[in-house]
């Protein structure tokens, strides 16, 4: 069994993409979530089947300018608890992008499919993503089984682990795992992160201004030291030297 992994492209019109799906006999109700997932996560598995069928399908996407990858089906390709929701399913590469993001921040959960507490939290976490949609705050889930060693490298010892990510920094959440509480935490952290970012930019700007002023002042001081004396003073000095 192989799959077609479709990668997002800003240069391809949604209408053209929909036409390709339609040619496969996929209706709009099935196509919309796939297109949304590709746009949100940057890539998504859209077709599964024999290698020859996948290669033929990939060719049609390639013809409209979409990048595709045909590869064997893996465990990570199977639908997760968050498939079809507003939650971004992030792998290591996507997580790196989310953690470095300074636009709005991201509420993250690191989970394991075998974890009972993780499964219980799924409906609430999906609800959080829907609540925060449109506010500039992203909500993402990382399947730790698909990304071995990642949780440990971040100091995560148990699941589910809920964290706030902004500009390379992580903050822990230890409150109730309800949609209202988690959404409140994310909203508060987003405000704090934005304030810190503005203060940091202001301090950095002030330091640059002070630095430029200091260089200018030093330049003027040095300039005075190097300026030759006025002509009249030069003549007086020469006369004094001759008299001596």
Tell me which DSSP letter residue 81 carries: T
- Domain around 18: 2-77
* 157 found inside a domain: yes
Q: Which of 121, 90, 93, 122 is nearest to 106 (CA)?
A: 90
Looking at the structure, tell me whether residues 53 and 114 fall in a common domain: no
Task: Please tell me whether residues 70 and 134 are part of one structural domain.
Answer: no
Q: Which of 18, 48, 77 is the endpoint of a domain?
A: 77
Are residues 33 and 93 located together in one domain of the fold? no
DSSP code string of 173-204: E-S--SHHHHHHHHHHHHHHHHHHHHHHHHHH
Instruction: Read off the pLDDT of residues 124-150 as tens digits, 9 standing for 90 and up.
Output: 999 999 999 989 999 999 999 888 889
Q: In residues, how long is the chain?
A: 244
168 within domain boundaries: yes
160: preceding bond cis by omega (within 30 degrees): yes
What CATH number did the domain enclosing 42 receive? 3.30.1390
- For the chain, the domain total comes to 2
Is 140 exposed, middle or buried, given 0-12, 13-18 or 19+ CB atoms closer than 10 A? buried
Residues 93 and 188 in one domain: yes
Question: How far apart are the C-alpha atoms of 56 and 27, rounded to whole Å?
Answer: 19
Domain-located, residue 207: no
Residue 227 falls within a domain, yes or no?
A: no
pTM, rounded to two decimals: 0.58
Higher pLDDT pick, 221 / 120: 120
pLDDT tens track for 135-192: 999 999 999 988 888 998 999 989 999 999 999 999 999 999 999 999 999 999 999 9
């Amino acid at each position: 069994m192989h799959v077609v992994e479709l990668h997002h492209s800003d240069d391809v019109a949604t209408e053209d993409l929909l036409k390709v799906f339609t040619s496969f006999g996929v209706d709009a109700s099935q196509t919309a979530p796939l297109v949304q997932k590709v746009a949100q996560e940057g890539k998504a598995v859209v077709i599964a089947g024999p290698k020859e069928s996948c290669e033929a399908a990939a060719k049609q996407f390639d013809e409209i300018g979409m990048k595709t990858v045909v590869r064997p089906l893996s465990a990570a390709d199977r639908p997760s608890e968050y498939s079809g929701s507003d939650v971004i399913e992030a792998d290591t590469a996507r997580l790196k992008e989310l953690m470095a993001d300074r636009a709005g921040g991201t509420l993250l959960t690191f989970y394991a499919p075998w974890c009972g507490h993780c499964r219980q939290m799924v409906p609430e976490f999906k609800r959080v993503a829907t609540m925060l949609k449109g506010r500039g705050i992203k909500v993402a889930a990382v399947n730790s089984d698909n990304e071995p060693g990642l949780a440990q490298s971040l100091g995560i010892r148990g699941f589910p682990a809920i964290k706030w990510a902004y500009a390379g920094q992580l903050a822990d959440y230890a409150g109730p795992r309800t949609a209202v509480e988690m959404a409140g935490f994310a909203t508060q952290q987003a405000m704090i992160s934005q304030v810190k970012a503005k203060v940091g930019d202001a301090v950095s700007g002030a330091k640059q201004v002070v630095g430029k002023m200091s260089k200018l002042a030093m330049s003027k001081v040095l300039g005075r030291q190097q300026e030759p004396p006025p002509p009249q003073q030069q003549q007086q000095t020469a006369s004094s030297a001759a008299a001596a």
